[in-house]
Amino acid sequence: MSAMDYSGPDRRRGGADRKALDEVTRILVVDDHALFRVGIAKILGQQPDFEIVAEADDSRSAIERALETSPNIILMDLSLPPPGGIETTSRIKRELPATAIIVLAVSEDEDALFDAIKAGAAAFILKDVGPDDLVTIIRRVVAGEYLINDKVFSKPAVASRVLKEFRELAIYGQEAAPIFAPLSPREVEILDNIAQGMTNKQVAYALSISEQTVKNHMSSILRKLSVNDRTQAVVYAMRQGWIKMPED
Give dist(CA 198, CA 190) in Å, integer.
Answer: 9
Q: Pick the more confident residue, 30 or 122.
A: 30
At residue 4, the pLDDT reads 55
The CATH number that domain 3-145 falls under is: 3.40.50.2300
Report the sign of the C-alpha dihedral through residues 43, 36, 112, 121, in that order: negative
Question: At 160, is the secondary structure helix, strand, or coil?
Answer: helix
Give dist(CA 34, CA 16) in Å, integer.
Answer: 30
Question: At 56, is the secondary structure helix, strand, or coil?
Answer: strand
Give dist(CA 36, CA 40) in Å, integer.
Answer: 6
CB 190 within 8 A of CB 200: no
Cα–Cα distances in angstroms (integers) from residue 153 to residues 148, 180, 196, 243, in the given order: 9, 28, 8, 16
pLDDT at 111 over 80: yes
Peptide bond into 83 cis (omega under 30): yes
pLDDT at 206 over 50: yes
Angle between helices 211-225 and 230-239 (to 10 degrees): 60
At residue 69, the pLDDT reads 96
The percentage of the chain sitting over the pLDDT mark of 90, rounded to a whole number, equals: 40
How would you class 97 by CB atoms within 10 Å of its CB: exposed for 0-12, middle for 13-18, buried for 19 or more?
exposed
Contacts 24+ apart (CB under 8 A), 203-212: none
Q: Which residues pair with 123 in a beta bridge?
A: 102
Question: At 69, is the secondary structure helix, strand, or coil?
Answer: helix
Q: Pick the more confident residue, 183 or 108.
A: 108
Overall pTM > 0.75:
no
Q: Where in the chain is the domain with CATH 3.40.50.2300?
A: 3-145
Q: Pick the more confident residue, 171 or 234.
A: 234
Q: Where in the chain is the domain with CATH 1.10.10.10?
A: 156-239
Least confident of 33-47, 65-79, 91-105: 91-105
Least confident of 36-40, 71-75, 140-144: 140-144
Q: What are the pLDDT digits (tens) for 123-159?
A: 999 999 999 999 999 998 888 777 876 776 677 777 6
Average pLDDT of the chain is 80
Least confident of 126-130, 158-162, 213-217: 158-162
**Which span out of 89-93, 113-117, 219-223 was modeled with the highest average pLDDT?**
89-93
Pick the CATH number of 156-239 from 3.20.20.105, 3.50.30.30, 1.10.10.10, 1.10.150.300: 1.10.10.10
Question: At 244, is the secondary structure helix, strand, or coil?
Answer: coil
Confidence grade of residue 14 (pLDDT, cut at 50, 70, 90): very low
At residue 51, the pLDDT reads 96
Residue 194: how many other CB atoms lie within 10 Å: 27
